[in-house]
């Protein structure tokens, strides 16, 4: 009887499946698409191969720019960091910078391109300044207006308004929970195997698809509320792309594993 009671209960209290329990516009895309997403109003950009369009249309138009590592939207316009380390504006392809083997890139509201060059490092630029990590061996310093914290390599950094947030996914340990902290004192730990802090954007953070919890899932945690979104079908250990603005939020799942294969990009309104 105890087993039956547990089976009928809520195994994941406070968690809701994205695209099902959380209403979203769903774009079915090629495998790999959605690895990185950026969203501003009606416009959405995604990579593996750069693609762009209005998310409500249900489809994105490929851009013949070559493979890209990252795409973004800042006040100075949409941009892409290509595999050849060129940073360009999109969709016109104007060269903004030619870098020498960076490990992370961002575009500031002023249009300036900023980058880091050490393994496992990250960078984010906003109207409030630059936030980045400097890594040496298995330890990284989080730097902004001040020295903020010490984290593991591979974590994301992000601005959320004036708030600075950073992650420590602890990738060296298979079942590490990972965590995210913010400059207002907030700290959120993941579950065993989550590696929380791999992605952070606009008040949400994620790790990777976690086979160590039951049911297996990828958790997208809110940094400003109690609701956690989940992806319940994806490749083992895969991560998601996060992007958003004040009114919408996009989640890219580059390796979706249910029904029709490929990738998915979900856009939630009023998130």
The answer to whether residue 182 is domain-embedded is: yes
State how far the Cα of 139 lies from the Cα of 151, in Å rounded to an integer. 6
The answer to whether residue 206 is domain-embedded is: yes
In this predicted model, what pLDDT tens digit does every residue of 194-248 receive, in sequence order? 999 999 999 999 999 999 999 999 999 999 988 999 999 999 999 999 999 989 9
In this predicted model, what pLDDT tens digit does every residue of 98-138 receive, in sequence order? 999 999 999 999 999 999 999 999 999 999 999 999 999 89
The answer to whether residue 100 is domain-embedded is: yes
Structure tokens that stand for 185 in this block: 């004192």
The answer to whether residue 4 is domain-embedded is: no
Number of domains observed in the structure of the chain: 1
DSSP 111: S
Question: Are the C-beta atoms of residues 265 and 36 closer than 8 Å to each other?
Answer: no
CATH number at residue 177: 2.130.10.10
The answer to whether residue 183 is domain-embedded is: yes
Question: Are the C-beta atoms of residues 64 and 57 closer than 8 Å to each other?
Answer: no
Q: In this structure, how many other beta carbons lie within 10 angstroms of the beta carbon of residue 75?
A: 12
pTM assigned to the model: 0.93
């Amino acid at each position: 009887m105890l087993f039956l009671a547990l089976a009928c209960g809520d195994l994941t209290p406070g968690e809701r499946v994205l695209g099902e329990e959380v209403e979203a516009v769903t774009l079915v895309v090629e495998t790999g698409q959605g690895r990185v997403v950026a969203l501003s109003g009606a416009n959405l950009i995604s990579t593996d191969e750069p693609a762009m369009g209005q998310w409500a249309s249900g489809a994105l138009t490929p851009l013949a720019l070559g493979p890209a590592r990252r795409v973004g939207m800042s006040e100075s316009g949409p941009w892409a960091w290509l595999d050849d380390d060129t940073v360009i504006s999109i969709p016109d392809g104007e060269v903004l910078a030619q870098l020498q083997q960076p490990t992370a890139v961002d575009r500031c509201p002023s249009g300036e391109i900023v980058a880091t060059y050490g393994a496992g490092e990250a960078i984010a630029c906003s109207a409030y300044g630059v936030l980045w990590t400097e890594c040496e061996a298995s330890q990284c310093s989080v730097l902004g207006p001040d020295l903020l914290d010490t984290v593991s390599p591979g974590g994301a950094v992000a601005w959320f308004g004036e708030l600075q947030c950073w992650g420590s996914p602890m990738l060296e340990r298979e079942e590490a929970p990972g965590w995210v902290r913010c400059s207002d004192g907030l700290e959120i730990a993941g579950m065993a195997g989550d590696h929380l802090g791999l992605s952070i954007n606009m008040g949400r953070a994620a790790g990777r698809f976690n086979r160590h919890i039951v049911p297996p899932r990828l958790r997208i945690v809110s940094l400003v509320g109690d609701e956690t979104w989940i992806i319940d079908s994806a490749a083992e250990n895969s991560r998601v792309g996060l992007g958003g603005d004040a009114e919408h939020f996009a989640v890219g799942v580059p390796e979706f594993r249910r029904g029709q294969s490929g990738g998915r990009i979900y856009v939630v309104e009023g998130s």
